[in-house]
A and B are shown apart, each in its own frame.
Chain A
Amino acid sequence: MSAGPTRRRLLAGLTAATVAAPALARAAPRVVVVGGGFGGVAAARALARGGITVTLIEPATAYATCPSSNAVIAGLRPLSSITFGYDGVRRAGVTVIHDTVTAIDPAARRVRLADGGSLAYDRLVVSTGIGLRFDAIPGYDEAAAATIPHAWKAGAQTALLARQIEAMDDGGLVALTVPALPYRCPPGPYERASLIAHLLKTRKPRSKVIVLDAKDSFSKQPLFQAAWTALYPDHLEWVPLAQGGAVEAVDAAARTLRTGAGVFRPAVINVIPPQTAPALCLAAGLTNASRWCPVDPVTFESTLQPGIHVIGDAAIAGAMPKSAFAAYSQAQVCARGVTDLLEGRTPPDPRLINVCYSLAAPDYGFSIAGVYQPEWDRLVTVPGSDGLSPDDAPPEVRAREAKLGRSWYDGMTRQLFG
C-alpha cells in the first residue's frame, strides 16, 4: 500500500476515530442503502457479505437495466430479459423495503419514507442515479415525455420508444437529441443511434436516424464514426453543435424540434435531456453548484454531509464516467470504507476500474477502459491504463468484444440480482 500520510488519509483517520467508539459500543451498526440499481444493490450485497446489517430501500419491485436497453429499443431482445426482481438480493441477506425515501435528515441520521415511517442509520449509502432536467429544454417537460420518450431511465420509457420505432412507416426520420456532458453513460446515445440504424437498415431501409448533438466531440468517437461509415452511410447522420445540433425547443403537440440547423418534424423523437443528481440529493444538501454530489474519493463519503456516502451516477467521481460498471466498482470501495469506518479502521487507498462496452451492431462491439486512484481530493486515471479498443481491429475482434460485452452484462446482472 502506498506510503506517507496524505491529507485524505488524515481525514479518514479522524472520521474513523470519532465514529469508532459509538459504533463499537452498539451491537450492530445499521447501514441503510437508498436505491436498488447497480450501485445500491452492489453496495448492499458487499456490506451484507462483510457481516453488516443492511436495509435497501427501492420503490420498484422490478428493476429494468439501462445497459442492454438500447438492444431492446432496436428490437433485438425483449424488455423482460433486462428486468430483474429483488428475491436474490434478499437471499443474500439484505433487508429490502419497497418504498421511496422522501427526505434525509443528516443531523438526526434518519431517512423518511413515503409511507410515513422513518429509518435510523449509522451510515447511509445513496445510489439514486440521476434526475432528468425537465426545466432545461423549452417544451420538454414531464408531460411531453409521455409521448416523446427520453428512455434514459429504463422500463416503460424503453418500451415506448421501441414501440414508436416499430410502428414507424418505412421512409421515416428518427431524431435523437443528446445533451452536453456530464450525463449518464457518455457513449450511450451513440450506441442507441447505431442500433436504431441497424434496425432501419435491415427492416425499414428507406428510413434514417439523425443525432442532434449539443457537443462537437463524444466518447469513443473514432470507433463509432468508423463503424457508421462502414455500416450506415445512408442510415445515420450526426449533427454536431457547430452545425446547429443543439436542440433549442421541443413542441410536443406539433411533434417538432427546433435546432440551430433548422426545424425538424421527425416521425419518432427521442429527447435525452440534461441531467442532475436526483431531487432527494439536492434537498438533503448533498449537491454543490454543479448539482452533483462531491465525495471523498476513498470512502465516497459526502464532503458536505458527514455520515452519508454517495456512489454511482449522482456522485462526482472525478475522471470516472457515469456508468453501471463504475457504480459497481465504487460500491465495492464504498462498502469497504463504510465497514472500516464503522469498525474503527482507516480505509486503504483504493483502486477502481471502469470498462464500458458499446455495440455499433449486434456483432460489432468495442470498449473503453480505465483504472482510477485517489489524488488528494479526487479520482484520477492511472496513467497508461485508459484507452479505447484499437481503431484497426479486424471484424473477429469486434465480434469478440460484442460477445464479451454480453457476457459482462449476463455475469453482472446474475451477480447482483441472482
Chain B
Amino acid sequence: MRSVIRAALAMAAAAPLVPAASADPLAPGAASCLACHGPGGGLPDLAALPPQAIEAALAAYRDGTRQGTVMPRLAKGFSADESRAIAESLGRTGAAGR
C-alpha cells in the first residue's frame, strides 16, 4: 500500500500542473478549515502563511492568549499534534498550498 502512495506522490511532484493527487491528502480536519479560509472568503489565506505561524496562532487561540470570534472555539477541537499536522497541510509548503 505504502509504495502505491509513494509512487503517486512522486508522480504528483513531477507534474505540478496535475491537481493535488488523492494520495497526497490533507491532515484530518484541514479540509474543513477551507470552508472559511478558501479562496474568495475574505479571510487570511492560510496557504500564504508559514506552517509555524498557523500552528502558533492555533495554540494562542486554544490557550486564550489570542482573541477571536470562532477561532478560540474551533482551536480547542484540536490537540497540539493535530494542529501541527493541519498547519503543515495548509501552510505555504503544504498539500493545499501548492
Do A and B pair up? The answer is yes
Closest residue on chain B to residue A50 by CB atoms: B22
Closest residue on chain B to residue A369 by CB atoms: B73
Decide if B78 touches A351 in the complex (CB within 8 Å): yes
Question: In the complex, which residues 356-388 of chain A have their Cβ closer than 8 Å to any Cβ of chain B?
Answer: 367, 369-371, 382, 384-387
Interface status of A389 (Cβ within 8 A of chain B) = yes
Question: In the complex, which residues 24-77 of chain B have their Cβ closer than 8 Å to any Cβ of chain A?
Answer: 25, 28-29, 31-36, 38-43, 69-70, 73-74, 76-77
> How far in angstroms is the closest Cβ of chain A from B31?
4
Closest residue on chain B to residue A353 by CB atoms: B32
In the complex, which range does the number of interface residues on chain B fall in? Answer: 20 to 34
Interface status of B17 (Cβ within 8 A of chain A) = no
Q: How many A-B residue pairs have CB under 8 A?
A: 114
Interface status of A339 (Cβ within 8 A of chain B) = yes
Interface status of A418 (Cβ within 8 A of chain B) = yes
Decide if A52 touches B22 in the complex (CB within 8 Å): yes
Decide if B69 touches A389 in the complex (CB within 8 Å): yes
Interface status of A333 (Cβ within 8 A of chain B) = yes
Decide if B40 touches A329 in the complex (CB within 8 Å): no
Decide if A355 touches B77 in the complex (CB within 8 Å): no
Q: How far, in angstroms, from A404 to B44 measured CA to CA in the complex?
A: 12
Q: How far, in angstroms, from A389 to B38 measured CA to CA in the complex?
A: 23
Question: In the complex, which residues 134-169 of chain A have their Cβ closer than 8 Å to any Cβ of chain B?
Answer: none
Interface size on A, residues (CB 8 A): 46
Decide if A329 touches B77 in the complex (CB within 8 Å): no
Main secondary structure of the interface of B (DSSP, over half): loop
Contacts A349-B28, A407-B42: A385 and B5 contacting too (C-beta < 8 A)? Answer: no
Decide if A352 touches B19 in the complex (CB within 8 Å): no
Q: How far, in angstroms, from A181 to B70 measured CA to CA in the complex?
A: 25
- Within 8 Å CB of B1, what residues of A? 344-345
Q: How far, in angstroms, from A352 to B35 measured CA to CA in the complex?
A: 11
Interface status of A400 (Cβ within 8 A of chain B) = yes
Decide if B74 touches A415 in the complex (CB within 8 Å): no
> How far in angstroms is the closest Cβ of chain A from B7?
11
Contacts A352-B29, A355-B70, A385-B74: A411 and B20 contacting too (C-beta < 8 A)? Answer: no
Decide if B41 touches A408 in the complex (CB within 8 Å): yes
Which of B21, B34, B35, B42 has the most C-beta atoms of chain A within 10 angstroms of its own C-beta?
B35
Interface status of B13 (Cβ within 8 A of chain A) = no
- Within 8 Å CB of A339, what residues of B? 22
Closest residue on chain B to residue A92 by CB atoms: B19
Interface status of A46 (Cβ within 8 A of chain B) = yes
Closest 8 CB pairs of A and B: A371-B77, A411-B41, A385-B77, A351-B29, A50-B22, A332-B31, A353-B32, A407-B42
Q: List 11 A-B contacts (CB under 8 A).
A: A50-B21, A51-B19, A340-B22, A343-B23, A351-B78, A370-B77, A404-B69, A407-B41, A411-B38, A411-B43, A415-B39
Q: B residues engaging A (CB < 8 A)?
A: 1, 4-5, 18-23, 25, 28-29, 31-36, 38-43, 69-70, 73-74, 76-78, 82
